[in-house]
Structure 1
Amino acid sequence: MDRGAGGGNGRRVDLRDAGVVVTGAGRGIGAALARRFAAAGARVVVNDRNPDRAATVAAEVGGLPLPGNAAESLVPAARRLLGGPVDVFCANAGAVHTGGPEAADEDWQTAWDVNLMAHVRAARDLLPEWLERGRGRFVSVVSSAGLLTMIDAAPYAVSKHAALAFAEWLSLTYRHRGVSVHAICPRGVRTETHRMAGVAGLRLTSTAIGPEEVAEALFTGIAEERFLVLPHPEVVQQMTARIADLDRWLENLNRMAAEQSVVAARRRPPLRSDSQEEQ
């Protein structure tokens, strides 16, 4: 079990035999978290929408595969697999959708369901048992987009802001009752999500880190019982600039957004005239 929940700063957290669930664990940050928890002696439930990916990572870490949509409630099935309680829940699965208000309603809804409501539904199932036991640990993999924003990805940035707000609410409401909450907000990470960011991700490439570094940062945050975990130091500087002068910060980002729209237009293939026919 997780014997460190609700504890003091800087101590080693014993995760041997803890029941851990990691959503979206078939690759990227989720797979790195599954490996790190398994290395600490935890029993890991590996969730992914893709059954093959879930099975592959579970076999690698000696865990339990749980294929399925993370936006739905996974906790009852995870308890059955573990044969006992869930001590740590890592809400890692994410949905990246680009665009602004013009993005389809389906894209906005998917971002909302996966990036926020999956966390809400998990907490709804977990909290009664955690509060009764006096311990539990909820990890929300948010992204720096939840602290700052992400150009040309309104559904993603807005839903990640909501995820961070929900994690804050959990912490301020239940910390005194033994529930630890961690919000990890990486910037650029070398994953499929980073690749999908396209032009919006170009500025992140030079500072991108590996998923394993994100997992290590989380474990440091767990040992220190820290709510906000920032694997990228520059995010602190950006947060400070945002708070100090929001208008200037927005002006700078608007300039970046304008530059990126020009770059995107140049990368876009030329439109065919009506006279051109498909060959």
Structure 2
Amino acid sequence: MAGVLITGASRGIGFALAREYLQRGARVFAGVRDPDRASALHDLDTGELVVVPLDVRSQRDIEDAAGLVASCGGLDRLVNNAGVLESSSGLAEVDGPRTLEVLRVNTLGPVLMAQRFLHLLRPDARLVNLTMPTRPIGTLTRTENHAFVASRYALNALTKMIAVEVADTGPIVAALWPGYLQTDMTGHAEAATPLEEAIPGVVDLIERLGPADHGSCLLPDGAHAPW
């Protein structure tokens, strides 16, 4: 039975991923900042759910989570999903401390998770960083949400660097954009896809990842984004 660790699993995409993997019979390690506030997650328990206190900003939390996973025999999938959005509509609204906090969660968190959990990933494992497809900087025209956009560019570059480093010895490493989905981050926009429609396909895509996808950023249809 596959062992899957998902960060940011108390709501949104992370919660939907945990639910889908549980329905498929996986053992799910659901990383959440506050287990006492994850009642919906606890309601999913099928006997294969392990709720893990895990704030990706905390090295101690990461170490404790790694110890728990090690005691259970390791992982087949690590899905770094935890993320935050700091809105800004122009340069004047960029806040230094809050920007650093976004980078700590969205960029450094997945890197520290990868650093600590790589040796706990079993053969044929997958390390997936949820992200957005970043267009070449020369074509970038956005002037909003500076911290979030910067965090995704940085995460994508670091995902590629990890993939290069472990190409001969480690798991398949990929970035993945799950699509424009109805979450708190998108304001549950009517034009976005409901999670219950999208997430089964996202899990299918994670499970289909192969050597040709290593070091790539995948779109919801499985195509590689030209990042």
Pairing 1:65–2:51 present: yes
In the TM superposition, what are the counterparts of 1:139-178 in structure 2 within 5 Å?
Answer: 139-144=128-133, 146-147=134-135, 151-178=143-170
The structure that has the greater radius of gyration is: 1
What amino acid does structure 2 have at the position aligned with 1:24? G
1:217 is matched with 202
What amino acid does structure 2 have at the position aligned with 1:112? L
Taking the aligned partners of 1:78 and 1:41, their CA distance within structure 2 comes to: 21
Taking the aligned partners of 1:170 and 1:91, their CA distance within structure 2 comes to: 14
SS at match of 2:86: coil
The alpha-carbon distance between structure 1 residues 118 and 35, as it changes in their structure 2 partners (threshold 3 A), is same
2:21 is matched with 37
The alpha-carbon distance between structure 1 residues 165 and 218, as it changes in their structure 2 partners (threshold 3 A), is farther
Taking the aligned partners of 1:64 and 1:147, their CA distance within structure 2 comes to: 37
Identity %: 24
The answer to whether the Cα contact below 8 Å between 2:75 and 2:120 also exists between their aligned partners in 1 is no
Cα offset for 1:168?
1.5
Pairing 1:95–2:84 present: yes
Taking the aligned partners of 1:176 and 1:182, their CA distance within structure 2 comes to: 15
1:265 is matched with none
Taking the aligned partners of 1:59 and 1:35, their CA distance within structure 2 comes to: 10
Cα offset for 1:215?
4.6
Cα offset for 1:172?
2.3
1:192 is matched with 184
Task: Compute the TM-score of the two structures, normalised by the length of structure 1.
Answer: 0.65
The alignment covers a number of residue pairs equal to: 211
Cα offset for 1:118?
0.4
Cα offset for 1:147?
4.2
The answer to whether the Cα contact below 8 Å between 1:182 and 1:222 also exists between their aligned partners in 2 is no
2:113 is matched with 122
Cα offset for 1:151?
4.5
1:11 is matched with none
The alpha-carbon distance between structure 1 residues 41 and 78, as it changes in their structure 2 partners (threshold 3 A), is farther
Taking the aligned partners of 2:179 and 2:26, their CA distance within structure 1 comes to: 27
SS at match of 1:139: strand
Unaligned runs of 5+ in 2: none
SS at match of 2:151: helix
SS at match of 1:175: coil
What amino acid does structure 1 have at the position aligned with 2:152? K
Taking the aligned partners of 1:182 and 1:106, their CA distance within structure 2 comes to: 29
Taking the aligned partners of 2:148 and 2:11, their CA distance within structure 1 comes to: 19
The answer to whether the Cα contact below 8 Å between 2:80 and 2:129 also exists between their aligned partners in 1 is yes
The answer to whether the Cα contact below 8 Å between 2:30 and 2:50 also exists between their aligned partners in 1 is yes
SS at match of 1:60: coil
Pairing 1:182–2:177 present: no
